[in-house]
Every structure is written in structure tokens, then in C-alpha cells.
A and B are shown apart, each in its own frame.
Chain A
Amino acid sequence: MGLEENLPGILLVSVEKLVNVVRKTSMWPAQFGLACCAIEMMTTGAARYDTGRWGMEVFRASPRQADLMIVAGRVSQKMAPVLRRIYDQMADPKWVLSMGVCASSGGMFNNYAIVQGVDHVVPVDMYLPGCPPRPEMLLDAILKLHEKILHEPLGEKRRAQLAEIAKTVPAPAVRPGTMPSSYRYNKAKRRQWTAAAAEGREEQLRIENWMHENGDKAPVVRDRWKG
């Protein structure tokens, strides 16, 4: 596409890392609040959750200056062309985060008026369930997206190279962008998750940890069950 296609291998790898770090550390979101999810999105940008910690505090009204489109809310059939146009107006590289169940799949609005998932209209990089998702969930989705960006290949040449490598080297147990942020940012829990993912029981681990943390309300086992 551009200069990155003509870089030699070693330089390509280090430039790729640098570029990815730069890309993820100041990702400006485009304003695309459509419904109630936008309220949570505004909360996330405000002082209490403060996306400014990751250089994302400026929500741009102009798609030309934005890197990330957070589709927050249900997309009606009438809004779909507008959504596509705004996406097309954004400059590359660009990402789409589909916030809330309505944007992701139509949610409870399974009817003729609502687009059943924005991935019918634009490519989505991260789906976020919840109705609406709480600000922590949005932060979690954004951080997962950051992790994904860190592992993105720089240009088509590098993508082909990585695909070649992937044929011989087995894929890592944890796919980038799947580990919950509270696990990724905690060394001990990250190890737990990686070990559990190798066995394919990460969801069980999550329930176990949650039950452990809520230990004071542990289930009551009746005497006769014990025998």
C-alpha cells in the first residue's frame, strides 16, 4: 500500500512494533452515539473512568480525525448508509467497536427496522455485549482492541509473511484480544488464564475465581448431602 510494503524484513518487524504502539496509544474515537449505549460511552470518557488514561479522551465530531468508530446503540435501516459513509470518511488505519447487543446483532430488536448487527455494513473489530454495557465493559473492549492492534501486521507483505509462519508454529493458546483486561493487567491472574486457556477451561476459571472472591456467601450444603 505505502512505504511499509518496501521495507526489508528486520526493519519491518521493529517498525511494525513501534507503529502499533503509536497507533494504540492515541486512538481517537469518532462520535457515533445512537442510543442509550451512548450515555455509558459518555460516562467512560468522563472523569470517573477517564479514557484519557489511554489517550482517547477526545471524541472527534469529524470522522476525518478519528481512528475508532464506537457504534453505540441500535442502527436503524435508515441510519445504515450514514454509518457506512462515516466509516468511509475515516482515514486509514481505522477500527470499529460495536458497543452493546443492538449494534452487535440487533439484540432484542429482532425486527425490520433495525440492522441485525453492524457487521452487515462495516467490518467490526470488537463486539461488546451488554444492554447497555457498563463503562468498565467498554474499557475492557477498548483494551482488548488495543491488544489486538499490538499484534496487527504492518501491510500486506507482512501479513503474508505471518501467515507463512503460522503454518509451522502453533498458534498461542490465548488469541490476542480475548483475555479479560482484569486478568491481563494482573500477573498472577494472567498466568492462571494462560494455563486455563491451554486446557480450554478459561470460562470455568472465571467462575471459580468469582466464587472464590464471593466466598462469604458460599453455598450452604445441608447435612444430609454430606453423607
Chain B
Amino acid sequence: MFEPIKGFGVSLANMFKPHVTEKYPEKMRPTAPRYHGRHILNRHPDGLEKCVGCELCAWACPADAIYVEGADNTDEERFSPGERYAGTYQINYLRCIFCGLCIEACPTRSLTMSNEYELANDSRQDLIFTKEQLLAPLLPGMEQPPHDMRLGHSEQDYYVGALENPGMSAGAEYSVQQETARKSGGAA
């Protein structure tokens, strides 16, 4: 007898239950802190690039998504501490599988990942990110390269201190010392 209206009962009962649907475009639910999103090329605190153009990320990449061309620093035109910098740096997001092997390979913590993921585009060309798009913005106190090394006399002064200097990529990376402190239960 109640068969025809039984279905309405189900709808009615569910109307007052909390719903699970995410309000995606209006509200972004934060990802996991170490979610593998788009890359960032970090800078030193004075604005020099951390990337030394060693191409280890390109070698580590299983999808051949990264293309690096190193170039020589000179005393007049200096982009990074040390001898070399990345003259060309490209990541093809239509090849990149966000595995993070490039991050593991990077010896200077130059390349890190953010949690950004809204990357869809209608042009294959625009999805090849170049160095301009990947480089971190200049924070206050930073200076647009090329310029001299402001924080030391040689690259040693930059990279030996790198253990405590995680760079710009908040969230994706802790410095080694912070990480050790976290694991041993101390404050970050």
C-alpha cells in the first residue's frame, strides 16, 4: 500500500543528513601537506637562483618532462652562486607525472613542489612551463638577478648553510634540521 511513496521517504530522510559533496570551485579543501603539485624553482634569500643547471632533475625524470640547458655565470652576469646556472629550464606538464623524483635528485633544494594543481589548459604550448613561470617570485629584500653574491664571497657560503635554509617553498619542504626536530618530537 505504501510502496508508491516509499521512495519519497528515502529522499526525505536523506535531506536532513549531512552531505559529503565538496564545494570545490568556491571552497578549496587543502591537500595533504606534501601533495605533489606544480614545481617551484627557489631562490636564495638575496634573490639569486638556487638552480645550478646540473640537469640531475632531467636525468631523474622517468617521463623526460624536464629540459635544462646550463650556462656559465660570469662576474658581470651572475644568476646563481657558483659556476653555472640554468640558461633554459622547461617542464612539460603534459609529460610530467608528478612523481617527485626530480625533487629527490635536486642537490641544492632548488626544485621543490607546491600544492597547486589547477593546471588544465587548451594549448599544449602553454603547458610547457618555462623558467619565468617556474621561478619563485621576489620576496621583499630580494633583488632581481643578475647581480653579485650578496651573502658571501663564494658559493660555499651559500650551500654549506643550506641545511638550515630550506628556501621559498613553504609547506613542501622543511629544512633538514627542522625535519630532524619534527621526527624527534620537538617543535619545528
Contact = CB atoms under 8 A, between A and B. Distances in A.
Determine the main DSSP class of B at the interface with A. Answer: loop
A29 to B, nearest CB: 15
B97 A211 contact: no
B8 to A, nearest CB: 19
A204 B33 CA distance: 20
A114 to B, nearest CB: 12
Given A131-B98, A207-B137, A220 B117 contact: no
A218 B170 contact: yes
Contacts of A177: 121-122
Contacts of B174: 217
Contact of B26 (A47, A117, A129, A185): A185
A50 B122 contact: no
B40 interface: yes
Interface string B102-129: 0000000000001111111111101101
Contact of B127 (A110, A127, A186, A207): A127
Interface residues of A, number: 60
B167 A219 contact: yes
B165 A108 contact: no
Interface in A192-227: 201, 203-208, 210-211, 214-215, 217-222, 224-225
Given A127-B120, A139-B24, A220 B165 contact: yes
A62 interface: no
Interface string A102-137: 001111101000000101000011111111011011
Nearest to B118: A180
Greatest chain B CB density within 10 A among A49, A105, A134, A215 is at: A105
A126 B118 contact: no
Contact of A130 (B62, B117, B124, B168): B117
Contact of A207 (B21, B93, B114): B114
Given A119-B124, A207-B136, A182 B25 contact: yes
A144 interface: yes
A4 interface: no
Contacts of B20: 47-48
A124 B121 CA distance: 11
B166 interface: yes
A104 B94 contact: yes
Nearest to A201: B137
Contact of A220 (B99, B123, B166): B166
A16 B98 CA distance: 40
Interface of B: 19-22, 24-26, 28, 33, 38, 40, 45-46, 62-64, 92-99, 114-124, 126-127, 129, 132-137, 151, 161, 164-171, 174-175, 178, 188
Interface of A: 47-50, 53, 101, 104-108, 110, 117, 119, 124-131, 133-134, 136-137, 139-141, 143-144, 148, 177-178, 180-186, 201, 203-208, 210-211, 214-215, 217-222, 224-225
20 contacts: A101-B93, A108-B97, A127-B94, A127-B121, A129-B119, A131-B98, A137-B120, A178-B126, A181-B25, A181-B118, A182-B118, A185-B25, A203-B134, A206-B116, A207-B40, A210-B116, A214-B170, A215-B170, A217-B174, A220-B165
